[in-house]
Amino acid sequence: MQAWIWNEKGLFLLDQRKLPLEEKYVFCNTINKVRKAIKELVVRGAPAIGICAAIGFTIGFKNFLEKTRTKKFSIQRISEEIGKLSLLLETARPTAVNLKWAVNRMKGVCEKFLKEVEKQPITLKTLTKLYSILEKEALKIWEEDIEGNLSMATFGKDLIPEGGVLTHCNTGALATGGYGTALGVIREAYKHKKIFVFVDETRPFLQGARLTAWELSKLNIPYAIITDNSAGYLIKKGEVKAIIVGADRIALNGDTANKIGTYSLAVLAHYHKIPFFVAAPSSTFDLEISSGEEIPIEKRPSKEVLSCGKTRVAPLNAKAYNFAFDITPGNLITAIITEKGVIYPPYSQNIPKIIKRNEN
């Protein structure tokens, strides 16, 4: 089952709010629908929302061309439109930097094109050409993500020891272009050694219990779902040999934003002296920020905590906090696995060295 399908009609997103009980697609043929799908977690996971934002940008630009009655365009008018599309998408969710990264790439393509044609009249034909370039770029972002996943899986597989490995949230095909970051590493390691996966249920959206478990079932990789608060008990008993998670944004010093609960796992790993790995593509690194202090943490509606699925579980007047992410300090992370290689501390020195490698 594909996490999304993109064709001439628009983008069909497998509704991750409904998995695994229903396998239904949400159809998005406008930029506003793509934004809403990202905001409401129809699609989620840092790399996946970046790719969808690139596709959303392309859809938004296509709609602009379809709606327009003008035959000639000014660079200023086009730049305004590009600014509007970018803002709508990059503000859909605040924490994962992949959104901004993908939008910037699409914006960069537009700017380069407009510079090349600035001396000639800009017609609908010119802009149709830009549209097809945007379409290619979005597909490239998607393909590169899958390639990157495969490469990080190869780099990471040897780091995972035999035995129990614990993961949090969902970092598989649903959260990426198609293979997975942390779950991709687990998939690859499983081809070579005996592994059992402890899947944190990941309250309140249950990315672990619903999505990771769904993926692992399809892959025939042995696993058990555990409540988020079981990790300490299992680690103390010696059943967990390593922890591996994904990331939404990694600062220059290795501080990593990821699904709420990740920090507690890193502290546990440190205390019990088991390795704690992060797997993420270079699009998740934000080298403009020196530490996690600068990462905005998304706060989601309290109703997600007060209910379990559609059933209210808390008193009607109860208040809840629903932080979607937390920050794990770089000094609790054993290594960061990327498509460009494995990064070890000291992160402030080694992250730029590896992430800027082969940058064009």
Q: Is 15 a catalytic residue?
A: no
Among candidate residues 145, 158, 200, 248, the one labeled active-site is 248
Binding flag, residue 176, ligand MRU (CB under 6 A): yes
Residue 151 interacts with ligand MRU (CB under 6 A)?
Answer: no
Separation CA 174–CA 16 (nearest Å): 8
User: Please, what is the minimum distance in Å from the beta carbon of residue 208 to ligand MRU?
Assistant: 10
User: Could you identify the residue written with the tokens 């609790």?
Assistant: 332
Tokens 């590896």 belong to: 354
Q: How far apart are CA 263 and CA 261, in angstroms?
A: 6
Of the ranges 41-49, 67-75, 154-162, 345-353, which one interacts with ligand MRU (CB under 6 A)? 41-49
For position 175 contacting ligand MRU by CB under 6 A, the verdict is: yes
Q: How far apart are CA 330 and CA 343, in angstroms?
A: 11
What are residue 297's phi and psi, to 5 degrees?
-100, 125
Please tell me whether residue 248 binds ligand MRU under the rule CB under 6 A.
yes
C-alpha distance across the termini of the chain, in Å: 34
Q: What is the DSSP string of 70-133?
A: -SEE-HHHHHHHHHHHHHHHHTS-SS-THHHHHHHHHHHHHHHHHHHHTTS-EEHHHHHHHHHH
**Residue 171 lies near ligand MRU (rule: CB under 6 A):** yes
204 binds ligand MRU (CB under 6 A): no
Q: Kindly tell me which residue out of 97, 259, 339, 355 binds ligand MRU, with binding defined by CB under 6 A.
A: 259
**Cβ contact 292:327 at 8 Å:** yes
Nearer to ligand MRU, 42 or 127 (CB): 42
User: According to the binding rule CB under 6 A, does residue 324 interact with ligand MRU?
Assistant: yes
Of 152 and 268, nearer to ligand MRU (C-beta) is 152
Contacts of 144 (CB under 8 A, 6+ apart): 177
Q: How far is the CB of 185 from ligand MRU (least distance, A)?
A: 11
Amino acid at 274: I
Contacting residue, 86, 212, 256, 258, with ligand MRU by CB under 6 A: 258
Q: Rule CB under 6 A: is residue 56 a binding residue for ligand MRU?
A: no
- Per CB under 6 A, which region of 40-48, 68-76, 334-342, 350-358 contacts ligand MRU? 40-48
Distances in whole angstroms, Cα of residue 73 to Cα of each of 12, 111, 124, 201? 31, 15, 8, 52
Q: What is d(CA 325, CA 301) in angstroms, rounded to the nearest whole number?
A: 13
Site map (CB under 6 A) of ligand MRU, residues 97-116, x = contact: --------------------
List the binding residues. Answer: 44-46, 93, 207, 258-259
Give the residue numbers of the binding site for substrate.
44-46, 93, 207, 258-259
What amino acid positions are annotated as catalytic residues? 248
Residues near ligand MRU (CB under 6 A) are 44-47, 96, 169, 171, 175-176, 181, 207, 245-248, 258-259, 324
